[in-house]
Amino acid sequence: MNAIIGFSELIYDEASEQGLQSIVADILKISRSGSHLLTLINEIMDISRIESGKAELSVEEIEICALLKEVAEAVEPLIQKQCNRLQFICEDNIGLIQNDYQRLRQILFNLLSNAAKFTSNGMVTIRAEALGNMIRVEVEDNGVGMSEEQLERIFEEFYQGDQSSLADSEGAGLGLAITKRLCFLLQGAIEVSSEPGKGTRFVVSFPRVVRPVFAMAN
């Protein structure tokens, strides 16, 4: 898959230089589908790795506000796509934490991209604070919200609620299934509350200092 995406980028560059518009359009389709498929493969691999006890943590010192800022920048195109605004609040009582940067980034990216996807002309807020030895991060939106029935199922693999309101319904219903597993891997938890038509709030909490986890030997 990496070769397909890599070579389509090379062909894209050459075709653009030579002004071959029809090839440029086709090659873009190949590289977009390739990236989509790669995301899906990586998500399924992630779930299997965690399920089989083969996921390891890579613990490092993290400045949480810098991490939040990085994720907020990454999600900005999705926020703008549906004319939303992103509010960013990082309390200054947090300081440095010891955690897995990539895993935390993935959790927050998944929650923020959902908030952006299921909200239009609205507000998405991410807020981080320290509560004793725990860090609490809240991702809130004032988008379509969810019913009780939906809320009961959102952490299931491949579950997707009503996609009819979405401009583009890419996605496989794996984001939250992975997010929940990652929260447990980081010795934390995830909670959700929502009201149809009003919006949704996810709260993740994890210890300031996470214990390293090594893969189980079989």
Ligand X SMILES: Nc1ncnc2c1ncn2[C@@H]1O[C@H](COP(=O)(O)OP(=O)(O)OP(=O)(O)O)[C@@H](O)[C@H]1O
- The contact set with ligand X (CB under 6 A) reads 114-115, 118, 141, 143-146, 150, 154, 159-161, 171-177, 200
114 binds Mg ion (CB under 5 A): yes
Nearer to Mg ion, 8 or 113 (CB): 113
194 binds Mg ion (CB under 5 A): no
Distance of alpha carbon 206 from alpha carbon 186, whole angstroms? 6
Site map for Mg ion, 172-191, x if CB under 5 A? ---x----------------
Q: Which does 206 bind (CB under 5 to 8 A by kind): ligand X, Mg ion, none?
A: none
Q: Which does 146 bind (CB under 5 to 8 A by kind): ligand X, Mg ion, none?
A: ligand X
Tokens of 194: 């929502």
Considering the complex, what minimum distance in angstroms separates the CB of residue 8 from Mg ion? 25
Q: Are 49 and 55 in contact (CB under 8 A)?
A: yes
- CA 159 to each of CA 58, 155, 168: distance values in angstroms, whole numbers, following the listed order: 29, 7, 17
Phi and psi, residue 158, nearest 5°: 65, 10
Nearer to ligand X, 78 or 186 (CB): 78
Distance of alpha carbon 36 from alpha carbon 170, whole angstroms? 8
Q: Are 124 and 85 in contact (CB under 8 A)?
A: yes
143 binds Mg ion (CB under 5 A): no
Nearer to ligand X, 62 or 190 (CB): 190
Considering the complex, what minimum distance in angstroms separates the CB of residue 155 from ligand X? 8
The answer for residues whose C-beta is within 8 angstroms of residue 172's C-beta and 6 or more apart is: 40, 43, 158, 160
Quote the distance between the C-alpha of residue 80 and its chain's center. Answer: 16
Distance of alpha carbon 127 from alpha carbon 107, whole angstroms? 14
Nearer to ligand X, 34 or 143 (CB): 143
Considering the complex, what minimum distance in angstroms separates the CB of residue 200 from ligand X? 4
Nearer to ligand X, 98 or 160 (CB): 160
200 binds Mg ion (CB under 5 A): no
Residues that bind Mg ion (CB under 5 A): 114, 175
